Amino acid sequence: MTDYALKAENITQKFGAFSALKNVSFDLKVGEVHCLAGENGCGKSTLIKVINGVHRPEPGARIGFGSGQSAGHITPSDAKRNGVHVIWQDLAVFPDLTVAENITFDSFVASPLKPVGSRDRKRRVNEIIARLDIDLDPDELVGNLSIAKRQLVAICRVLDADAKIIFMDEPTASLTRKETESLLRIVRRLSAAGISVVFVSHRLAEVLDVCERVTVLRDGNLVGTYPTEGMSQKKLSKLMTGMDVHEEPRGPQTFGETAIEVKGLTRRGEFADVSFAVRRGEILGLTGLMGSGRTEIALTLFGMNKADAGQILLEGKPVSFGSNKDAIAAGIAYVSEDRLNLGLIQNQSIINNTAITVLDDLADPPVFLAPSRLSQLCTSWIARLKTKVSDPRLPVSVLSGGNQQRIVLAKWLATNPKVLILDAPTVGVDVGAKAGIFEIVRDLAATGMSIILISDEASEIHTHADRCLILRNGRIHQQLDPADVDEEKLEELINA
């Protein structure tokens, strides 16, 4: 007989006329590691919030913890009493407090008059750190820690609050492979101690092998709960999206003349002696771990940073950029990896976000920027890139990740670039929408645009790049034809 840590049945959650969850059931065994999977907007977060007591589901729901009574809904204090904790993606740690202060924060709130540095607290912090066998200095300021270490602080904090069920929202999204592995090791340790962990993720490969079961949601419906044994990433994608996402490798192509060439490009502390060339119509994959220099090279090509040495040649002519404005004028476009903060101005309209790169072209005469020309531009790109937009005057933030990325592409394609740099173009884009983005990218290459595709996802590089450069510590470590290796081998080379 299995012991359940949590059983939730018949959960329906409505927001107005919209049903975010439809009759969903979810259970969790004691000490189990469970994966909650689904695309953005499928109801994952809503389900967590129901279990956490934030939302009250429709009548008919049954939620119970351990051997206790089940109830129609949970209050936040029920959740707390039963040891339910959520570590959200933004972690919600306090950067100006020390590791120890962060970890004991909840008990500090409970008894605020007790001195923060009391011996009892220090002992508890050391105990938890020892229990997880991790390297964490209790007196360090959290603001000085890497994301991976902040995550450990967040985990320690819920352990200090006596967590029995931990939900982790996209815990691996900003971790390197090594950091992910050490996180998974800690999760196994928690599980062995009888704590249940739920991973919420849409980057699946890495969590599949640590999870015992996976529950898949789609559009608020429960698709099913499956054992992970025998579950492949492909099969899981299909369950999540409801469609067969299958992309053919590009195969041999013919290219035009060299569009951009880089010779001995160096920027101290970032990258050194980088040389490569991209021809018209070619997709060059640029890959490597975070910090390997991939984004830094892109920012220098885009004129944001100056190189210390080396040369950039556009169509054979040496160029030098005073700012990214010069780079844009010369025909270089850069799709940032950080769509939320750098790629788009989230609270401005879809129209404004599309037009922002081409104000000089739209203003005619130069002192008059006609609103009608802005909306015409936007409408035509929405149609060309088949973007789903109900009203282009709405803030761009209302769009899904995939559609937002199409607007980013639109704003750069409007500048008529010769070289398009795509930095992690599918971050936060659903599995189904990824294929659509790459379809556009391939079409662009077919028109003779040179594309530099920066990604740390081996499958993307393998499927879409014609040639691939692997960066390591700011230098080109290896150049290869993706067709010569299989995906697993490429993954290994990137992460080595």
Partner 1 sequence: MRNLSAKWSGDRIELAAMFAFLAAVILFFSIAAPNFLSLGIFRSMAFQLPELGLLTLAMFIPIIAGGLNLAVTFSANICGLAAAFVVQSALMNHGIVAIPAALLISIFTGLVIGMLIGAMVAYVGAHPILVTLGAMILLRGIGETVTRGGDISGMPDVFEVIGHGSLFGIPVPMIIFLAAVGLCFYIMQFTKLGFSIHMVGSNPKAALFSGINVNRVLVWVYGLSGALSGLAGFLMLTRFNSVRVGHGESYLLITILACFLAGANPFGGFGRVLPLAVGLISLQVIASGMNLMGASQHLATVAWGAFLIVVMAVRAPFQTKS
240-247: long-range contacts, CB 8 A cutoff, minimum separation 24? 240/37, 240/38, 240/39, 240/42, 240/202, 240/216, 240/431, 241/39, 241/430, 241/431, 241/432, 242/218, 243/432, 245/431, 245/432, 245/434, 245/435, 247/435, 247/438, 247/463, 247/464
Is residue 205 close enough to count as binding partner 1 by CB under 8 A?
Answer: no
Q: Using the rule CB under 8 A, which residue among 257, 371, 383, 398 binds partner 1?
A: 371
How many angstroms separate the CA atoms of 26 and 337, rounded? 34
How many angstroms separate the CA atoms of 399 and 378, rounded? 14
How many angstroms separate the CA atoms of 275 and 312, rounded? 9
Q: Using the rule CB under 8 A, which residue among 149, 411, 464, 467 binds partner 1?
A: 411
Judged by CB under 8 A, the stretch of 101-109, 227-235, 248-256, 360-368 that binds partner 1 is: 360-368
Closer residue to partner 1, CB minimum distance, 323 or 479: 323
CB of 52 to partner 1, least distance (A): 23
Judged by CB under 8 A, the stretch of 13-21, 48-56, 343-351, 480-488 that binds partner 1 is: 343-351
Is residue 81 close enough to count as binding partner 1 by CB under 8 A?
Answer: no
The size of the interface with partner 1 (CB under 8 A), counted in residues, is 33
Please give the backbone phi and psi of residue 418, each rounded to the nearest 5 degrees, phi first.
Answer: -90, -35
Q: Using the rule CB under 8 A, which residue among 369, 480, 483, 485 binds partner 1?
A: 369
Is residue 65 close enough to count as binding partner 1 by CB under 8 A?
Answer: no
> How many residues are there in the chain?
496
Residue window 379-408: x/- pattern of binding to partner 1, with contact defined by CB under 8 A = -----------xx-x---------------
What is the per-residue burial (b if ≥16 Cβ within 10 Å, else e) of 427-436? bbbbbebbbb
Q: Using the rule CB under 8 A, which residue among 61, 200, 344, 468 binds partner 1?
A: 344
Q: Residue 474's closest CA among 335, 279, 309?
A: 309
CB of 364 to partner 1, least distance (A): 11
Question: At what angle are helices 177-192 and 119-132 packed, to 10 degrees?
Answer: 110
CB of 319 to partner 1, least distance (A): 16
How many angstroms separate the CA atoms of 189 and 192, rounded? 5
Closer residue to partner 1, CB minimum distance, 362 or 483: 362
CB of 23 to partner 1, least distance (A): 29
Binding site for partner 1 (CB under 8 A): 304, 323-325, 328, 334, 336, 341-348, 352, 355-357, 359-360, 363, 366-371, 390-391, 393, 411, 415
